[in-house]
Structure formats: C-alpha cells, structure tokens
Structure 1
Amino acid sequence: MNHLQKKDLQYIWHPCSQMKDYEDFPPIIIERGEGAYLYDINGKAYLDAVSSWWVNLFGHSNKRINKAVQKQVENLEHVIFANFSHQPAIGLAERIVNITPAGLNKVFFADNGSSAIEVALKLSFQYHQQTGKTQKTKFAAISDAYHGETLGALSVGDLDLYSKIFKPIMLNTYKAAGPDCYRCPYGKCRQDCNAECFEHMEKLISQKHKEICAVIIEPLIQGAAGMKIYPPIYLKKLKEMCSQYHVHFIADEIAVGFGRTGKMFACEYAGISPDIMCLSKGLTAGYMPLSLTLVTDEIYKAFYCEYTELKAFMHSHSYTGNPIACAIACESLNIFEEDNVLEKNKQKSKLIGDMAVKFAEKHPYVGEFRQLGMVGALELVEDKKTKKAFDWTKRIGYNIYKIALEKGVLLRPLGNVIYFMPPYIVEEKDIEFMVSIAFESINQYFGR
C-alpha cells in the first residue's frame, strides 16, 4: 500500500463501499484520464467500461470540453440563480426543450440526479395541493426501482440494499410488481410481448388513483437493479393510464438519457411525453454535477401567481444553474450534433452485442446477455436452465471485478450482473478488449 492509499484510508469514507474491504483491496489512485482510459499513479491503464458510474460520454479529458471549461471560467464561474441568469443556462434550457419529448417546456436546475428526483416529487405534490386535489399525497413506483439515495428518492425506490435501514423515516409509497423479462412469469419475451405484467400497475392505479400524485419510472432500463430491460409497450400503457386518472408520469432518464439506449431519450422508443422528466449523469459528459427537471406548461402555471398567494416553488441549491456546468452541457450537445454520435453508436453497440452473445451462448454461468444501445449486461446464474440466481453473499460479481481490474478493465458489477456502459468514443479494439477481458475474468473466477 503506497502513501496516498494510506492517506486515503485515513481520511476518506468512500460511497457504496464496505470500507473494511479496502484493508485488503485499497483504492486505486488515478492520476489522469485520456479517452476511454484511466491511468493510475504507476502508469497502469484501465479501460473505463462503466463510464465512471455512467456519466462519461466522450472520454476523459476531452479536448473540446476542456476548451469550453477554460473559456467559461475566464468569464464567469458562478452567480446566484435567483433573479439572475446567464447565457449558458439560457442556451442549455432552450436546447434541452427542443430535443426532449414535446410538451416539456420549462426547465428547473439542480446539481445531481437525486436532487432532480426530489424536485420532481415535490413539484408533483405541490401541484396537486394547489389545484384542489389535496387528497393526492402519495407516489407509486415499480419493484426493483432505483431513483437515488436522498430520503424522497429512496422512498420511491425498491432496493433494500440502499433503503431497508431507512424505512422507518421514509415516505409511504405504493409499489407494483414491475417487468421481469428474464424470468417472465407469463412465459413471454421482451421482443414481442404486450406487457402483460402491466396488470399490477393497472390494478394499483385504478384502485388508488385518488391518492396518487405521480408514478415514477426508469424508462426501459432499471439500472441499479441489474440493467433489467423491458419493452416500450409498458411505458405506453403507463402513460395512457396516468393521463386517464390525472396522475403525473415522471420519467427518470438520469441514467438512460443522452444516447445510452440508442436514442437521445428512452421515452422516444414508446413515443410518449412524460409530465415530468429528470436528467443528469451524461448531461455534462462526466465533467461536473448538474441536473434538470423538465415540466409541462400546465404544471408550471399552477405555481405562477402573485407573491402573496404563496404558491412559488421554494426549492433551491447554492450551485443551481452553475455556468461552467451549463457551458459543458452545451458543448456536449454540440458534439452530439456535429459528430453524428447516435449513428456511430449503432455500429459500436452492434459490435458489443455480437461479441458478447458469441461468448454468452456457450457459457454455462451466463444466463442472459441483454442489451439496449450502448448498455449491455451479463447476468450470471447458478443454473442456466432454471435461471437460479447465485447467492449474492458470495460476491461473485465483486470478485470478477477485481480480476478484471488486474487485467486492465474497470467492470464494476451490480450484484451478479456484469455490464458494459463505455464512453461513446471507444474504438473497435477497445470493445474487443473489454468484452474479451470480461469473459476471461468470468472464466478465471469459475476455474474454466
């Protein structure tokens, strides 16, 4: 263990970590990043196959974005966002409204994904309180949902790993059994089903709609649940029912937005417009914290009044609308437009899929390889025929992650799911390296 690792362990408490693990597996000290790779203080390279927690789109130390940062820093680093504004925020808001689903015409700024979720929940609740539907005080979500780790976000999530200990102080929310396409209880497959599993949400909304402010959902991919992918028809049915019963549809596109699924936003696959949309992560291409919550004009107008009516949305963050973060987001959108990113990603996602399927079909412990756009996931199972899951306490994914790191690929797992979510600038050789090392590491763990 070097002196920096010792200092780190002396002073830092890392997120989502059992710190005792770090005694035997100390943190890797990264000195720099370039393209799809990270380099530690010893010069060892690691392919960033998870985009540094799903945020990096165009590689580390991207020259275009670096220039945008430098230019903005020389003009304005930050300014209070109440009664003041600036061009980067105005430009970003206009461009986001133009590329998101129709009807989302107002943009509220915050500084991380969980905060965007909190904003969405509070806006929905306050809207109903101010429009005479005061009995609407609860939210609904699906099983295995993840929407962040602040208390409100945890309350609409459904992963005990993050929330179980906090349940006594969380909001009381409704949960409906959601899609489970790999182990579909209806015997269907995600490619051609009619979302028969929607019956659970349909029943919940029909029975409890008078109490429900909003339904919140991760469109098409439940990320932290293990990259669980489900079909667009589920979203179509949900949108129709929310509209029928005057329940807000909140689309949490924090992880899946900005091209991850193959389209700019996952809702596009279903052809729907949510009432509220939350964006973050890839918004600033992995450079700075920033999040947006978009709403319809109808929601916005419920807050538009004289000051004495006390209907304003009293929610703020010190770094709301930070000019540097907004300038980065604008440059990221420039790259999307000028470099034909979504079209190029089609070829890269196909290469990931072709390679992964070739290995997965023959592997006795890979139950399924599932993919949507630039997101691919290998679910490891004890029995391929029965789809029996491995005991999570064996930490199989974590041990494979450690093996892969030694081989130069960062593949941080989700339980027993190994996934690929690389930066969009990966080259063919990087993809081949990433997928081959993933399977080499899986084979090494299982002694194959």
Structure 2
Amino acid sequence: MQLGRQILSRHTRSQRTMKLQVGLLIASVTWAAASPFRETRNKLLLVSFDGFRWDYDQDVDTPHMDRLVKDGVKAKYITPPMLTMTSPSHFTTITGRWVEDHEVVHNMMFNTQTNEKVPHKKTLTRSEWWDNGPLPLWITAQNQGLKTASFFYPGGGANYSGQAVNRVLVEKAGHPDDNETEWRQKIDTVMSWFSQEDFDLVTLYYGEPDNVGHTRGPDHPDRKKIVRQIDRTIGYLTEAISRHGMNDSLNVIITSDHGMTTVKKRPLVDEIILNKYVNLLKVASFEILDYGGFGILTPRPGKEQEVFEALSKAPNLTVYRKDDMPESFHLARSRRLPPIVIVADLGFNLNSRFIVYVNKGDHGYHNGEMDMKMIFRAFGPDFKKNFLSEPFDSIHIYPLMCRLLNIQPAPHNGSLKVTQDMLLHSGGPQSVTVSLVTAIFIFMLLLTP
C-alpha cells in the first residue's frame, strides 16, 4: 500500500513537473511572439521626396517604383495635414501630431510681435521654432536605447528639451537639389551608418521634385525627368541594401510632404492682390501674404472684423478667423497662428500689394485637393508584398514607425489600426496583453491537479 502511494506520488509530481515545464514553454513562446519590445528589432529608413505628388509616377516610366509595388506596400495616396507645406507636414510625420499641437505652423519662422521672419533653410537649426513640447521620433527612440540620425530631414537639426539627434546633417541655403551623383552618395552614407555603425533609425530628405515643380510646373517635361531620376535613385537604394546584406533587417518607408499644382497666371486669370480689398498698411500689424496659396495676418487692434469682411469679398480664396476654422484643419487651437488665415483656391497664389510671385507650380492649398496628395511606398522584412493600401492621413505614419522599431510611442494623434494590415505581423500592445492573458490561463490550467 505504502509503495503504491509512493509510486502514485512520484507519478503525480512527474505530471505536475511536466505541466509546469509545458506551461513555462507556452508562456515564453507566446511572450516572445507577441512582445513589441523584444531585443531583436529591424532597422528603419524613412525617405522623403519633397513635393512628390501622388500621381507623378503614372505618366513616367518608373520600373523601380513599379517593382516596389510587387515587393512591398503601396498606398493609393496619402493626405498631408493642413498645412500642405514642407516644415509643418514633415514634422507631423515625425511626431504623429497635428500642426496645432506641434506648432510648426509655416515654412518661415516668424514672430508677430517683432515682425521677425526667418527663411525656411535658416529655421532648420532654430530650436525655438521646433521645440514646442511634442517629441519627434528620433528623441523618443533614443530615450529607449536606439541610435538615430537625420540627413537633411526638417526638424532634425533642432534640440528638444536639450536633447539632440545622435547624428545630424543639415541642408544649407543654396544647396543644389538635383545632383544625382550626390543623391547616390547620400544613400552610401546612410547605408554605412546602418551597416557599420549600427544606427536603428535614419531619416533621409531630398528636395526634389518640389524644386522643379515650383520653377517649371508639375506638367513640364523637366518634372518627368526628375521623377525618372528619383526612380533610378530608388533602384540604387535597393541595390545598396542588398550590397550591405540588409534585405532581412532594414525596413524602408518612402513618402513625401505634399503635392503640387499648376499656378494660374495672367493673362488667363486675374491674380489675387489683397490690397485691392483692404488697406493692409492701415489695418494689419503682421502679415505673410506673398507665399503661395496660404496666408496669415494679424489685424491692428479693433480691425479684425473689418479685415475679415473685406477679404471675404475677394475672389478665389477663403478667409477664416482662426478660431472658426473647420475642425478637420486641426489648426484652430494653435497659439502661434495669427487671428486671420487665408487659403487660396487651388492654383491661385496670394499677393499682398504687388504681383511678385514667379512660381509656375505651388502647394499650401486645402489638403482635400487631389493635387495636394502625396505618395507612400514601403518594403522590407516586416511588410507584406504586393499589398495595396487604401488612402490614409500622414498622421498615421508615426505609430507605424514606432511599431516597426518596437518602441513605445510618445503621445500622438495617429492610430496603428489604420496601417497595421500592411504588416506581416500586426500585433501591438493590445495583442501583447491578450497573448499574455492567454498564456497565463493555459499556464494555470496546466498546474491544476
């Protein structure tokens, strides 16, 4: 009898030990499969081609971009934020915040009290313009142990609460935008950062096809020429990834900041001259009105209603009181924007007193206009192949990048739900929680006698 009990006891202990081992194995495997914070992570390259409209590859032979459609993900198009300008839109992508939250409200840095106006290129190292609370992805990633770099990307040259991006190259004023040899050198540099110096995140910016779109217009043959150059550059990038043996460890997102439209000019149309409708010298204390399709104005004390009513009579534009702008603009809560905001109709540019505008193409218009939409391509080990995504707002790129880097995002306005279907493994914090609960349940069940 005693011997039988001993045998039964040993058998029961053996069963419990086996259950414990199986339970621990299931729990560990479940955690390893689900956790977005595992030690091994793939690297990420974000490439921006300024002013690349969503349909620029449709009237040009682009074999390398076509190949990416089969090898990765393509979105039908992406909607930039209001404002459809370089600095505001790029900073929305890298922070995941609407413009009214990150407060980079123009390409020019300005001060409505002192009338200071700083051109775009000179703002790139002015931290007081960029550092308004929301943290860009570089800093959030670095705070979680990752190594990041910015190559000409807007906002990369600033400090955020005293923190700088690990490595930064800032574009200087007058830097040529269209040198194809230099474009390839930039890729070689970035790939060496990944392969030789173990960077986790690099953002890379190109100033085309924005420049040619402005100077020549989006319908000019030179725009098609630069798109072919971009396509060759993308081909060079994919070859460089293979050369460095990083096909299985580097994810790439290729996008833009806004589109481009043809500017309607005389003699076909009457251009907008705002001083015809209101005496700007008498009623305005601050203005940026000679800047494409978007204008801002601070009326003198007691003149706001007069300015609003007068400009409301001007053709080919819409004037807004900042506080009454559509909620979809996500601009009304901005502290920096002046009280009056003017948005020209598509293709019309704003002139304050004289016609000084020379561009043949521009942006800055309503982000609902199809000419303002932009591209999105992605490929790499974490992306599905031959996947066509429905359109989405650029605000959602940020949580996608955090998921790819396996980091906890800073507060943001985007949602991973919008983009997770393009991933091979779309699990996130919620799926981790579910998986852990499941593992614990199985573990407890196996321990039950």
TM-score by length of 2: 0.27
Larger radius of gyration between Structure 1 and Structure 2: 2
TM-score by length of 1: 0.27
